[in-house]
A and B are shown apart, each in its own frame.
Chain A
Amino acid sequence: DAGVIQSPRHEVTEMGQEVTLRCKPISGHDYLFWYRQTMMRGLELLIYFNNNVPIDDSGMPEDRFSAKMPNASFSTLKIQPSEPRDSAVYFCASSLQRGSGANVLTFGAGSRLTVL
């Protein structure tokens, strides 16, 4: 398996533009997580899915953020409109189980977003 695949790796956009980040989880993993990493706030969980269904989106900062998982092999995180404070590295991760089990998270390489 090629691991968790994210695209784009880097995105530079102007304030107000729409940003779409993409993720392909590991085949067979039931859970998919979106994290945001910044120097100030560290690694924050934004939302996670179980079997393509959003379970907890309490970490999504604002209504400008939305995430979908139309099938088991694809998820998107969309920011519309984007703002400079959204600049961060966004990680997608997948796992077989949630944290209560013995399974672990496999992270993608991340998408570095810069909003000017």
Chain B
Amino acid sequence: SQQGEEDPQALSIQEGENATMNCSYKTSINNLQWYRQNSGRGLVHLILIRSNEREKHSGRLRVTLDTSKKSSSLLITASRAADTASYFCATARLGQNFVFGPGTRLSVLP
């Protein structure tokens, strides 16, 4: 299956620390995206990285993509309590739809 799998399932850190979440997938992709979901809300797009890119930054977010290992990581630097949410990776393959992983639940403790 194309589905991404996030790791870890849950992560708890202190405010100010960095949070790293990983995503692995099984088939070739065109791009990989990360989404955030706050409790009781819809998913919000964070960042997209194309298959020919290796690293991308957006504010405190850093995403890497290793197509040879079929994996991606999302790094949130200097975490804040407001970063507490579930984070999902979504893979997209040519001609097919987005497929979401089960997510990583991040808790940032003040």
CA distance A95 to B50 in the complex (A): 17
Contact B94 A100, beta carbon cutoff 8 Å: yes
Question: Bound state CA distance, A33 and B31, in angstroms?
Answer: 19
**Contact stretch, chosen from B11-19, B37-45, B65-73:** B37-45
Interface size on B, residues (CB 8 A): 27
Q: Could you mark each residue 39-70 of chain A with 1 if its beta carbon is under 8 Å from any beta carbon of chain B, else 0?
A: 00011010010000000100000000000000
Q: How far is the CA of A104 from the CA of B33 in the complex (A)?
A: 8
The number of residues on chain A lying at the interface, defined by a beta carbon within 8 Å of a beta carbon of chain B, is 21
Say whether A56 contacts B31, CB under 8 Å: no
Tell me the B residues contacting A by CB distance below 8 Å. 30-31, 33, 35, 40-45, 48, 50, 88, 90-103
Given pairs A42-B103, A107-B44, 11 additional interface contacts (CB within 8 A): A4-B42, A33-B97, A45-B99, A98-B92, A99-B96, A100-B92, A102-B48, A105-B90, A107-B42, A107-B43, A110-B41
